[in-house]
Chains A and B, each alone.
Chain A
Amino acid sequence: MPGGWEAVIGMEVHVQLATRSKMFCACPADYVGAAPNANVCEVCLGLPGVLPVVNGRAVEHVVRTALALGGSVARHTKFDRKNYFYPDLPKGYQISQYDLPMSRGGALDIGGRTVRITRVHLEEDTGKLQHAGDSLHQAGESLVDLNRSGMPLMEIVSEPDLAGAEEARDYAVALRAILRAIGASEAEMEKGQLRAEANVSVRRRGDPELGIKTELKNINSFRALQRAVDHEIRRQIRVLEAGERVVQETRGWSEADQSTFSQRSKEFAQDYRYFPEPDIPPLELDPAWVEEIRAALPELPAPRRARLVAQYGLSEYDAGQLTREAATADAFEAAVAAGAPAKPVANWIIGAAPGLAPGALAELVNLVGAGTINREQGLRVLEQAQATGRAPAEIVREQGLAQVSDPAALEAVVDRVIHADPQAVADFRAGKQQAIGALMKAVATATEGQANMRLARDLLRARLIRSA
């Protein structure tokens, strides 16, 4: 970091849970694409007289998440009311958790750094406003859509253990992998199912005092998260180096401007008047039930990554890529189990993300591995296998795709190519090793991509050196 500065970053991540109904009512949770205010009932509209009833499935997801993060799940927990007025908040308060969250503690390993988890709690989502006009302040009217109102929302708060934009991104990526592995959420940032807010401050390296922080919001992708944090760190350093002070505030991330902008001052803390939600009795989480959930947890991304390295001899990078999605790692292991070697399977999955059945993927990998077809052909076969669902070997056979591996046949092509491009030959002989690339391309073209390119390369080299 420039000029002896260091950044201190903590994350607050809101996660929409994968439940069928909303947090406190029976409305369907699947509101994406629904007409505005179609997925609402008297409860999530906050009509007079309604009462909340806790969605047990949402509690289960929070407990599962907490356990996956190594948190300590509370025996006694409760909901509280967070009071404030806003048109997207129908009751004038949000049901959340204040001093007795469902879980405290835990950690998330992001490859080399351990980020401590402060707490995980459960709350309800708000509705959405649409401002009719160019900006909030110029809008003639605002429209309220309460489809999202009352959606189950889990908040995961970390300690300020992150030191840079890339780490912030890694944290969100790792969290997403866990959430998807345990089925707690789809956790798609673009769909607003995972909303990462970064609390960012900077200080002189070695300074024991924390700097004044800003909170970054409206971040819709991992890339945006990294850019926003990076931009904000640089901005704060600029402010401080200019002898000014950082203002404690909420800042939004503008995709268009690729910069953060001030949204709301937090200099004067809003008083939310938290108090225990009297409509919901305190929750007692039975330790035996919690242990059942723990026992049923699937293998989590971090241990699975370590196992893939140990069991299949994969690199840390490959294992990390494969375990970003449980389904990807599953596909890898199934294809290997179907009889293909691990490393090429990993390469195919990471490079081409094939949506093939394990048997078909193993077959394809083995066709390329055995030299029956080359990599280019493999990609074409993959495309067709994906589109038609037919077996790779069948496609190869029918279309006569088997690559030309006959040295005599290839030798003839190599001769033709060398004669046709004396310039490349001269360049090569003058020491330009890369000139062989042009000749290789010519071989591929001459054979319509069916040449065994490794063999072609050997033959080319032999010919060029021999006749030199």
Chain B
Amino acid sequence: MAIREQEPRIHAFLRVTEELARAQAADADRRLAAADGVGPLTGIPVALKDVLCVEGVETTAGSQILRGYLPPFDATAVARLRAAGAVFVGMTNCDEFAMGSSTENSSYRPTGNPHDPSRVPGGSSGGSAAAVAAGEAVCALGSDTGGSIRQPAALCGVVGMKPTYGRVSRFGLIAFASSLDQVGPFATSVADAALVLQAISGLDARDATSADRPARMLDGVEDGVRGLRLGVPREYFDVEGIEPGVRAAVERALRDLEAAGAELVDVSLPHTEYGLAAYYIIAPAECSSNLARFDSVRFGMREEAATTLLATYLQTRRDGFGPEVRRRIMLGTHALSSGYYDAYYLKAQKVRTLIAQDFERAFAGCDAIVSATSPSVAFALGAKTGDPLAMYLCDVLTLGGNLAGLPGISVPCGTSEGLPVGLQVLAPQWADATALRVGRGYEMVRSAG
């Protein structure tokens, strides 16, 4: 089994759910043999990011504060995969509470990139990306708040998609930043990603932000890119820190797309440079509130030595959360404080509106927007752990899609320095099928890199 071979090298999983997988696989075998009750994913091994609650399976969000926590319910996306016949092989490593871009903020252990285990798999859904890249699972679920599916997909050389905000229920997803979080798939092909997305999409009565939109992800996915107008945002190609090799690989991909009949048009996203700052106000603000429930009263870790209520809170949260989580809680708490709210949170929300308007204007002249997913290829473990700002820059090309609620997919587009590069396709809200079609269209014409 691939997991036994690969795990000692890459540590993609925090927990392998062998017993559960065997039971589900046996059930799948029975259904397939009887040709009865066969779902679209019957028997398909799926890995789940450790932020998606699975009933009775330890789910920790990569955090010590949830060590040993057994959710009493399935996340909606998980329940839908279960119903579709998937086999759950395990919970994958991630940055603690999905905060990070390298999976090094996991409180358990780092994960190695299957292409070079001395390098990061990206993050925060690094374990899911690595598991799929290493063949440990056919597909996986992750969550994407600022790029946490697309960036590790790019760094690990697999397909990863963040759907339109509201496409997939967030119920049972351990929240990082509620207005930005979205669950999505990893796979080795766009078609497989579309199949998984199809299975998990749709209105959920338990998530008021989920939408009642027809979700036919496979419609037109094989139609190719001929006749599509693809927007090329200059700001995304000149972004700070973009590696020449990454840029070259993406530009080669654009030529392939053009050769296949797509029309490339220049578009502008003028507020791009403010995106990172706005994101790092809004996401921490929401996380500071979302993570308040980890107070040791009802579940999770508790410092029993504390003798007062305040000491219990302080000691549990000091010891239970890692440094990056504590940093973001403090940033967010400050941004929401009386006297600072207008200058930070409110201003950031205005920037968010401007960024969404940038995209709206751009999409008036094109069907989708293409760019690099990550400004860099996989970097060495430890290279950025001492410099939070450098780490935050990993998300600079992806977080706009979260701020505007857009669907975005990352598709492998060759290599730079022998490491995978990702092509990002962003589409208008609810045009998830367009992103998939462009991604699939590119797969069909991809030239060897």
Instruction: Give the distance to chain B from A122, nearest Cβ to Cβ, in Å.
Output: 15
**Which of A83, A271, A273, A279 touches B209 (beta carbons < 8 Å)?**
A279
B238 interfacial by beta-carbon distance below 8 Å: no
**Which of A45, A49, A281 touches B53 (beta carbons < 8 Å)?**
A49
Using A42-B72, A275-B289 as known contacts, say yes or no to A51 and B295 having CB atoms under 8 A apart. Answer: no
The segment out of B167-175, B355-363, B389-397 that lies at the interface is B167-175
* A92→B208 contact, CB < 8 A: no
Instruction: Give the distance to chain B from A158, nearest Cβ to Cβ, in Å.
Output: 25
| A81 CB contacts on chain B under 8 angstroms | 289
- Report the Cα distance A46→B293, complex, angstroms: 7
Instruction: Give the distance to chain B from A218, nearest Cβ to Cβ, in Å.
Output: 20
B330 interfacial by beta-carbon distance below 8 Å: no
Instruction: Give the distance to chain B from A64, nearest Cβ to Cβ, in Å.
Output: 22
Q: Which of B52, B172, B298 lies at the interface centre, i.e. has the most chain A CB atoms within 10 A of its CB?
A: B298
- Report the Cα distance A46→B206, complex, angstroms: 14
* B285→A275 contact, CB < 8 A: yes
* A273→B336 contact, CB < 8 A: yes
Instruction: Give the distance to chain A from B414, nearest Cβ to Cβ, in Å.
Output: 37
* B208→A279 contact, CB < 8 A: yes
B337 interfacial by beta-carbon distance below 8 Å: yes
* B174→A273 contact, CB < 8 A: no
- Report the Cα distance A261→B285, complex, angstroms: 37
0/1 interface trace, chain A 79-120, chain B, CB 8 Å (1 if under): 001010101001111000000000000000000000000000
* A279→B292 contact, CB < 8 A: no
A164 interfacial by beta-carbon distance below 8 Å: no
B94 interfacial by beta-carbon distance below 8 Å: no
- Report the Cα distance A91→B53, complex, angstroms: 17
- Report the Cα distance A129→B59, complex, angstroms: 29
Per the 8 Å Cβ criterion, residues 263-302 of B in contact with A are: 285-286, 288-289, 291-295, 297-299
- Report the Cα distance A81→B173, complex, angstroms: 19
Instruction: Give the distance to chain A from B194, nearest Cβ to Cβ, in Å.
Output: 25
Instruction: Give the distance to chain B from A49, nearest Cβ to Cβ, in Å.
Output: 4
* A90→B293 contact, CB < 8 A: yes
Per the 8 Å Cβ criterion, residues 156-176 of B in contact with A are: 170-175
**Which of A42, A48, A273, A279 touches B337 (beta carbons < 8 Å)?**
A273
- Report the Cα distance A90→B69, complex, angstroms: 16
A163 interfacial by beta-carbon distance below 8 Å: no
Per the 8 Å Cβ criterion, residues 289-344 of B in contact with A are: 289, 291-295, 297-299, 309, 313, 333, 336-338, 341
A183 interfacial by beta-carbon distance below 8 Å: no
Residue on A with the closest CB to B336?
A273
The total of chain B residues at the interface (CB under 8 A) is 44
* A48→B313 contact, CB < 8 A: no
Residue on A with the closest CB to B75?
A49
- Report the Cα distance A144→B341, complex, angstroms: 33
Instruction: Give the distance to chain B from A303, nearest Cβ to Cβ, in Å.
Output: 38
* B336→A51 contact, CB < 8 A: no
- Report the Cα distance A157→B292, complex, angstroms: 28
* A91→B206 contact, CB < 8 A: no
* A53→B208 contact, CB < 8 A: yes
Per the 8 Å Cβ criterion, residues 46-60 of A in contact with B are: 46-54
* B175→A83 contact, CB < 8 A: no
**Which of B174, B205, B333 touches A49 (beta carbons < 8 Å)?**
B174
| A48 CB contacts on chain B under 8 angstroms | 53, 59, 61, 66, 69, 71, 174-175, 293-294, 299
Q: Which of A42, A85, A271, A275 lies at the interface centre, i.e. has the most chain B CB atoms within 10 A of its CB?
A: A275
- Report the Cα distance A92→B291, complex, angstroms: 8
- Report the Cα distance A256→B216, complex, angstroms: 67
Instruction: Give the distance to chain A from B178, nearest Cβ to Cβ, in Å.
Output: 4
B6 interfacial by beta-carbon distance below 8 Å: no
Instruction: Give the distance to chain A from B48, nearest Cβ to Cβ, in Å.
Output: 13
A1 interfacial by beta-carbon distance below 8 Å: no
* B178→A93 contact, CB < 8 A: no
| A462 CB contacts on chain B under 8 angstroms | none
B29 interfacial by beta-carbon distance below 8 Å: no
- Report the Cα distance A273→B206, complex, angstroms: 26
0/1 interface trace, chain A 261-288, chain B, CB 8 Å (1 if under): 0000000010101110011110000000
* B345→A275 contact, CB < 8 A: yes
- Report the Cα distance A92→B313, complex, angstroms: 11
Residue on B with the closest CB to A48?
B174
**Which of A51, A87, A275 touches B171 (beta carbons < 8 Å)?**
A51
Residue on A with the closest CB to B346?
A275
| A50 CB contacts on chain B under 8 angstroms | 171-172
- Report the Cα distance A254→B273, complex, angstroms: 59
Instruction: Give the distance to chain A from B424, nearest Cβ to Cβ, in Å.
Output: 25
* A45→B298 contact, CB < 8 A: yes
**Which of B75, B172, B292 touches A92 (beta carbons < 8 Å)?**
B292
* B178→A278 contact, CB < 8 A: yes
Using A87-B309, A281-B209 as known contacts, say yes or no to A49 and B173 having CB atoms under 8 A apart. Answer: yes
| A47 CB contacts on chain B under 8 angstroms | 71-73, 293, 298-299
| B285 CB contacts on chain A under 8 angstroms | 275
- Report the Cα distance A280→B173, complex, angstroms: 16
**Which of A52, A54, A83, A280 touches B292 (beta carbons < 8 Å)?**
A83
Using A51-B171, A54-B208, A90-B298 as known contacts, say yes or no to A85 and B313 having CB atoms under 8 A apart. Answer: yes
Instruction: Give the interface of A toward B (CB within 8 A).
Output: 42, 45-54, 81, 83, 85, 87, 90-93, 144, 269, 271, 273-275, 278-281
Instruction: Give the interface of B toward A (CB within 8 A).
Output: 52-53, 59, 61, 66, 69, 71-73, 75, 170-175, 177-179, 205-209, 285-286, 288-289, 291-295, 297-299, 309, 313, 333, 336-338, 341, 345
| Extra contacts besides A49-B53, A275-B341 (9): CB < 8 Å | A49-B174, A50-B171, A50-B172, A53-B207, A83-B289, A85-B295, A90-B293, A92-B289, A273-B338
